[in-house]
Structure 1
Amino acid sequence: MGNLSHFKGVLVLFGLLALVGLATGAQFYKLFQPSWATDHFMYEGDVLKLRLDKYSGAGFASKGKYMFGKVTVQIKLVEGDSAGTVTAFYMSSDGPNHNEFDFEFLGNTTGEPYVVQTNVYVNGVGNREQRLNLWFDPTKDFHSYSILWNQRQVVFLVDETPVRVHSNLEHRGIPYPKNQPMGVYSSIWNADDWATQGGRVKTDWSHAPFVASYRGFDINACPCPDNVAWADNTRRCSSSTERRFWWDSPTVSELNLHQSHQLIWVRANHMIYDYCRDTARFPVTPAECEHHRH
């Protein structure tokens, strides 16, 4: 009788675990869908895992596109020797003149800090890389990574700490990404031609599979149907006398004093590369750099 009770208990436990997995899948599939290599997706409890091996990486994309708002995901990065791998979380519009906001987590050799690279593309032009080392080990636990986007600024946040701001400087003749709806994407892939120490350290496939774990998917942004013109989406997703969206409120139009101090601290203590200071690449300082010094 005891064995039967134990067996029933095990069945109930497996049933609960299956329901949790289904709930995770439901949360993910409400907002996203796999974009490639579905056989490299795994669900464990409330966690989605993407796997990279010598055959393939994996990626997913949001079902819709958005104009302004905030997107967040919690990620636990690849543990151990992850050299050559890149885990990316980003927003992007379509086409050759696309806009894009990137988080790219560059793998490392065991014991070295993970490097986080951010980049901003405007009208198809990128080359705005910044790199920093995080103030924690991102492989040991989940941390939140967010992109806040409105008509005044783009803010990259790690656990709600701003690590980069790209301001709207259109009044100075500098283009700003504000009229193209963006999808939300993430992927893990092999980039050992450049990702770790400039490509000097290659991926060691004996450590595969490399696994990035995800949870806490959240998109709080203005949805833009594909059948609506860009200009109409811009108007629909912008505040007016009839409606007020949270992303246009004064509290998020610029960093508050505490956030400004946080950004100064990040730049002073954790930034290891800033394109604005790379005179070899840019003998003439990019125009926006003169106004993005914090």
Structure 2
Amino acid sequence: MSKMLGVFVGLLLVGLAASAKFDELFQPSWAMDHFIHEGELLKLKLDNYSGAGFGSKSKYMFGKVTILLKLVEGDSAGTVTAFYMSSDGPTHNEFDFEFLGNTTGEPYSVQTNVYVNGVGNREQRLNLWFDPTKDFHTYSIFWNQRQVVFLVDETPIRVHTNLEHKGIPFPKDQAMGVYSSIWNADDWATQGGRVKTDWSHAPFVATYKDFQIDACECPVPVTSADSAKKCSSSEDNKYWWDQPTLSELNLHQSHQLMWVRANHMLYDYCADTARFPVVPAECVHHPHHSRETNYH
């Protein structure tokens, strides 16, 4: 690997931004009385009155956002903790991490989803290879004009590739806010809604620290086209996320993703013939999807 290539790969892995305090980047969206600040830690709590959520003060186009998160301990069935990016409006784009609560002793699962022009239904679900309630782990979304990558402790767990040359729309022209929330979703979150929230275990607490946004900030109001132009390099690759080496996963990351899919994938919409008798267009062309596996 050339020295320059190594530097660029390193940029994707570590990002350039130092971690920031919560209130430099974010503000509470709802239920401020369900926020607890303990030194460098931020806790969001869910009880039978309310959940809580926060959002970024700015919107961004391309780059990498990361949180360090410790999920709800013990019996968290029925709860969802979400970390996501989203634009506004009915034709919004959105990249979701949703951490689905579990009954004590069962593994936590994470569901990811990608919305393009207001249309989602691209769920993937996997078990994590560690207990996310015992310690902090990093959850990141990396986004450029070529791909969206979901990362857990810098291991890619999902890639959504730009296939515009196949006539498939790709989210690259709407600035997005960064959000997180905790709420009750016991109608579907745990075992398809069969296991309900046990409020005797409330409050359910998700704990955050070290917020990082290393991305192109978009002033409001600016048109989408202007933001897209401002936040992408022309010939000179002035933005780190536009480096040619970051247009796809490197070999090591591709192997990591294959390992995740082979060992931890529970559900992939591309393989769900009941929901999608006709294979979704991006699944046909996508290098990281196939119908060969029937996930349980």
**What residue number does 2:54 align with?**
60
Q: Deviations over 1:107-166 (max 9, x none)?
A: 000000001000000000000000000000000000000000000000000000000000
Q: Which of the residues 128, 138, 145 maps onto 1:134?
A: 128
Alignment map for 1:17-32 (pairs within 5 Å):
27-32=21-26
Point out the more displaced range, 154-163 or 239-248: 239-248
**What residue number does 1:41 align with?**
35
SS in 1 for 2:112: strand
- The offset of 1:243, in angstroms, is 5.7
**What residue number does 2:291 align with?**
none
Q: Deviations over 1:15-61 (max 9, x none)?
A: xxxxxxxxxxx810100000000100011121100000000000000
Q: Which of the residues 264, 271, 279 maps onto 2:265?
A: 271
* Contact 1:143–1:158 (8 Å) recurs in 2: yes
**What residue number does 2:44 align with?**
50
Identity percentage of aligned residues: 81
Cα distance in 2 for residues equivalent to 1:256 and 1:242: 22
* Contact 1:165–1:292 (8 Å) recurs in 2: no
**What residue number does 1:149 align with?**
143
Alignment map for 1:106-185 (pairs within 5 Å):
106-185=100-179
- Unpaired segments ≥5 residues, structure 2: 1-19, 289-296
Question: What is the RMSD of the two structures over their aligned residues, measured on CA atoms?
Answer: 0.9
Aligned length: 269
* Contact 1:106–1:115 (8 Å) recurs in 2: yes
SS in 2 for 1:232: helix
- The offset of 1:252, in angstroms, is 1.3
Q: Which of the residues 213, 222, 225 maps onto 1:219?
A: 213
* Contact 1:122–1:176 (8 Å) recurs in 2: yes
Q: 1:63 to 1:102 in 2, by over 3 A?
A: same
Read off the aligned partner of 2:257 and give its amino acid letter.
L
Read off the aligned partner of 2:35 and give its amino acid letter.
F
- Unpaired segments ≥5 residues, structure 1: 1-25
TM-score under structure 1 normalisation?
Answer: 0.90
**What residue number does 2:292 align with?**
none
SS in 2 for 1:238: coil
Cα distance in 1 for residues equivalent to 2:250 and 2:81: 30
Which has the greater radius of gyration?
A: 1
SS in 2 for 1:281: coil
Structure richer in helix, relative to its length: 1
- The offset of 1:292, in angstroms, is 2.2
- The offset of 1:251, in angstroms, is 2.1
**What residue number does 1:23 align with?**
none
- The offset of 1:66, in angstroms, is 0.3
- The offset of 1:242, in angstroms, is 5.6
Read off the aligned partner of 1:138 and give its amino acid letter.
P
